[in-house]
Amino acid sequence: MAGQLPHVLVISGVSSGVGKTSIAIGIMASLTHRGMRVQPFKVGPDFLDPMHHTLACGGIPSVNLDGAMMGRDGVLESFSRNCRASEADIAIVEGCMGLFDGRDGHSDCGSTAEIAKWLHAPVVLVVDAWCLGRTAAAIVHGYASFDPDIRLAGVILNKIGGESHAQWLRDAISSSVLLKGVLVLGCLPKSVAVVMPERHLGLHLPSSETHTTIQHHIRLLIDAHVDLDTLVSRMEDADSAVRAPTSALSLPVLPDTLNRDLSRLPPVRFGVAKDDAFCFYYHDNLRHLEAAGATIIFFSPLHDTTLPSGLHGIYLGGGYPELHGTILEANKSMRASVHAFASDGGLVYAECGGLMYLANTLHDGHGGSFAMAGLLPFDVTMTPRMVMGYINASPSPALASLLRLPINLVLKCQQFHFSEATNDVGKPVEQLGPTGVGIGWTGVAHPAFHTTIVRSSSHTPQSSPEGIVQASTIATYCHVHFGATPEMAPALVAAARRHMRYVSLEATATETLGAIWTTKDDEDGYTTNPSVLRGISEFCTSPAWLVRSLPKLTLSLITATTSQEIERQVQELHATGLRDLHSIDTVSLQMSKPDVVFTQEACDRCAVTDSALLRALDAVGLADVTSTVLCRPLTVNDMLSQVLRLAAVVGESRRGCILHAALTRRLQVIRDLIDAENPTKPRVLGLESAFPLVVSGQWLPDMRLRAGGVEALNESYPGCPPRRLQWDEIVAASPEVLVVACCGKSATGSAKEVEEHLAILPGFWDLPAMQTSPPRLYVVDHDLSSRPGPQLVEGIEILAALLHPTIEFPRQSLHKAVLQFVGPQRCLNLAEYFVPVNIKVGTKIDATQLETLEPSPIATSPRTLSPIQSLPAPTIATSQAPPSGAFPLAVSAHVLLSWNHKLLLLSGDTSPLDDATNLWEADVSLANDGAPSSLLVWRPVPCTAVYGEAVPTRRSNHAAVVWGDILVAFGGWDACGLHPLADMELLDLTTRCWTHGSTVGRPPSPRGNPSMVLASNRVLLVFGGWNGRDRFNDVVQLDLTSWSWSTLSAHDELHPASPSPRTDHTAIWWPSHSKNEHDRSGDDIMVVFGGSDKHQGPLNDVWAYDPSRAGTVDAWEQWICTGEVPPPRTSHAAILADSHEIEDMDDEDGTDDLASERYRLLHRVACARGYRQYVDPGSGYTVFTALYLKDRACCGYKCRHCPWGHKNVKKGVKNPNPNLEW
């Protein structure tokens, strides 16, 4: 039912105590027992009934629908979302109290009738008929006629004295003309076996005895005495089309970019107390926390000894701590753990029972006292007095400051408790004013809320301070519904982020964080907390106010100062096998205990890489509790997006939006000024190194374009990698402006580099940039452009002034970060003739007065790249080789190739801690004929990469071939297994150097699990694969002469003369030995076998594709095979043997046990990476891991990796091996 809402039925009663809950539970259990997926709901704020619902429905969480708190839109949104999430066949809504009972006596607000009308759902009325005869018909008539918008579909009569009593009641109802259409759906006899124990909040907690015994008897009673078939048909006949909500009340409103990146933010680990003492949670509250970026981790204050490691927030819900005082007191280590977490600044949110647990002492009201966590300055005492009702709560100034909530926000909530806050002798701490209104709690400096009880009278009650805010701890008796107040969940998650500990090893991130924390927000007026940044790298030099007192956790091993010396030292360090060019102070790292570390992976010279950081975190035991955030913007737009992302990471999304708007506006001002003047745009060439010659890439071409320039080099475009080039390319480009900003150099240092390495080259003085007066040769301070942070905008403003000196900017200024050459032609001491440029810099724009603007589009498409003629020489080693003779690490989704009597293993999925080597090789010529495979010696292959290129991309389920001495890799899935890839990368097997493949034409769409064959040693053919949603059956060709892509056969799901779209198949190239025009077997063909499609699952069909017939109806031909045809299979392998046989090896057909080891490996790798799920390569279904399942109640559906002892089987397997680990 994922595409539509299910039929819905409301079960209500004439009043409380008529057996409504027992009958609702029985119907839910009976329909679930029949194989239907039942989504349970409960009208009102009750916590206990939904627990029974959840058990009766096989673990599907029951959800509260409370009209008084949530409103119509909130109810409809929650109903729709939860039904779709559970893929329910039927929704059963249990009412509260009597059908028309609600918040007051003059409306149906908060009633079951209100919910039924909003859902357009039929109602089944439960009547206690123990002492009734014909009067029952009058009662039913009253309910049926009281509100004409209620459709009474049937009646269930409870506590019947016998069959004659039942018939008497049926006759009474059926004989009334006023009750036409109201059916008696069941008559249940009174049974002591189904009496459910109650407590002051309703039913008791569902124990194992309740679930296995009482619910079993209720289900049997319903099966025997209720006409379920008619009940279901009445639901299907009803008009239960639920209208969509008029506004989205459930999800936080964030910028589009932030919404897309929310799932990529570091998780906020919220510990949620969940056991018999703490069990009162609205299911929607947890869902809203997850939607806001929280990862829910359940723990038990009763049974766990300490809090889970790495928590950033705690949610202590309500429950019955008074029933478990002895155990809670005895668990001293847990109480100390909670106290220490709060005292260390961790966010704690406690409701009702949670408040009781945080108090000093719990007094049970019968002489017993139990020590609690001792965090709050009062005790709690049980009393005979019940406090119950809906509450409107406004945040106190302290809470508004902590959670950044509007001070006038009204939170919809409810209270139900028998305890109160007291001093150590049992006296209430609430102080009363002259009129008996609460005015504060003794010893509480900052309340949590100002609360008002919602009453039906016209009298408006005064508000009273309630609860407590103490540092980062919030404790209250209010149960807040996060769906009714959608600001609450994201506010809690953001507050947790603002109290997390951070380390920045990336200068860009440090600069951006400083800009975010100093951005003015007049609307909320709250101060920021930069002290959460606990450490930086040695290259984090800006802003000075932020970094001056922070410990530096890294030290570069590169001590050279000139470009030539740096290059030589790097090569020497790599030659010694040194893996990382920066050392990390692991002692200081451990002391800082970061929750998040900002790092990068683009350049191992500029900063510590992510992989090196992960090894350091693992060495100090922080790998499991510390997240890393990669900061790698490649364009100015990436930088702007990173502002929003980093602001969200540290809980300052609003300030991030303000800063984003200010930067966008400044860029638009530059654009508008240039467009207004419409000057000639000069050809600009930028260098980031004079030795070796390296043209600047990534965000720098974007800066030049936005400043009103044109790239002199065709291969330069926004986001392109920096690359080495020959001096002849610069001469040929004829730049009109030359900008040099050497990496790590000041403007003066870059001037010296120009003198030593550029001015001596032939043709330098003849460049157009050097022919003007004065020459347009500029050297720029590295800091202005080296970090893709907010300072880039100032760099663009300066660059615009350099390129267009005639444009009038508001203010003149001498900028020492930019020098211009003003000397004579062919002078010797060139560096002495650089002087500061007198440029025009725009006035600062007040960010608070800006509206968020979308800048005008700027053309950023790359120019056509030249085909690769040869691979550049290696420059930077990417890994340190493990000792020879080792075996490749446990790996799946890899590629095995042959080259020069060697086997090459191109890695795929491995554990994140053991994936340093991307390529392995084994020399088969060294193995004796007939020798066991164990004598095959594998060794890792250390590879290098072209300077400035972040290759090879870590990927899995990709395709690869060997063309001569070149290994070509294409497609697959990224390192997280979440996003398909479309890029091509090349490895020169002689130099062992990786580089990007530069091609023209339209490449295949991003996909994983494709096939790729080398055809006739001149073209590559890519076929099939999938992107996580769609499978493909197109054939795309890459001409290895022109390096151009072309589509030979377009994707077509319905074409009968081509294979069905598929993935995880095999393809081989079968060259011909003869050319007979009438004999198809003589053609050069690609043979495709097996795989899986979305309709049939595993396949065993064989297809032949002839590229020479591309575009015709007979390019594809299906072969009908004889003999022992292999069973359907997927994720197998195939090779061509002796030029006339295809050998198929190892497969997964969905029925045998051969794939046990494969799935054991997939599951082990997924768990090692912390994944909650992975994709089954055979079926394409998502499979939950034990990491996910062990934190959740068993659903009873035999999950493949169920940690609760149920049978672990693969879908469709009828007779599994009992020892199999799927």
Please work out, in degrees rounded to the nearest 5, the angle formed at the alpha carbon of residue 127 by the alpha carbons of 125 and 133. Answer: 130
Distances (CA, A) of 1146 to 250, 1134, 1154: 49, 9, 8
Omega before residue 862 within 30° of 0, cis: no
The strand ranges marked E within 190-292 are 198-199, 202-203, 268-273, 278-280
Catalytic residue selected from 352, 606, 993, 1202: 352
Omega before residue 1216 within 30° of 0, cis: no
Neighbour count for residue 23 (Cβ, 10 Å): 24
Neighbour count for residue 1018 (Cβ, 10 Å): 11
Instruction: For residue 748, give the nearest of 803, 826, 837, 817 by alpha carbon.
Output: 817
Distance CA(562)–CA(743), nearest Å, equals: 10
CA 462 to chain centre: 44
464: part of which helix (H) or strand (E)?
Answer: strand 464-466
DSSP state of 651: T
Amino acid found at 1045: W
Helix ranges, 707-782 (H): 727-733, 747-753, 768-771
- Measured in degrees and rounded to the nearest 5, phi and psi for residue 757 equal -120, -20
How many secondary structure helices (H) and strands (E) does the chain include? 30, 62
Do residues 1137 and 1145 touch, judged by C-beta distance below 8 A?
no
Longest dimension (CA), the chain: 119
Neighbour count for residue 1120 (Cβ, 10 Å): 7
Do residues 679 and 708 touch, judged by C-beta distance below 8 A?
yes
DSSP 3-state of 275? coil
Measure CA of the first residue to CA of the last residue in the chain; give whole Å: 28
Distance CA(513)–CA(644), nearest Å, equals: 11
1157: part of which helix (H) or strand (E)?
Answer: helix 1156-1168
Do residues 690 and 705 touch, judged by C-beta distance below 8 A?
no
Take residue 836 and report the two structure tokens written for it. Answer: 């500061």
Distance CA(163)–CA(334), nearest Å, equals: 57
DSSP 3-state of 239? coil
Rg (CA), the chain: 36
Do residues 782 and 742 touch, judged by C-beta distance below 8 A?
yes
Question: Angle, to 10 degrees, between the axis of helix 507-517 and the axis of helix 653-677?
Answer: 100
Do residues 752 and 698 touch, judged by C-beta distance below 8 A?
no
Helix ranges, 122-204 (H): 135-146, 163-174
Take residue 935 and report the two structure tokens written for it. Answer: 């004598």
Distance CA(419)–CA(370), nearest Å, equals: 14
Take residue 87 and report the two structure tokens written for it. Answer: 């893929």
Q: Is-catalytic flag, 187?
A: no
Active-site amino acid positions: 352
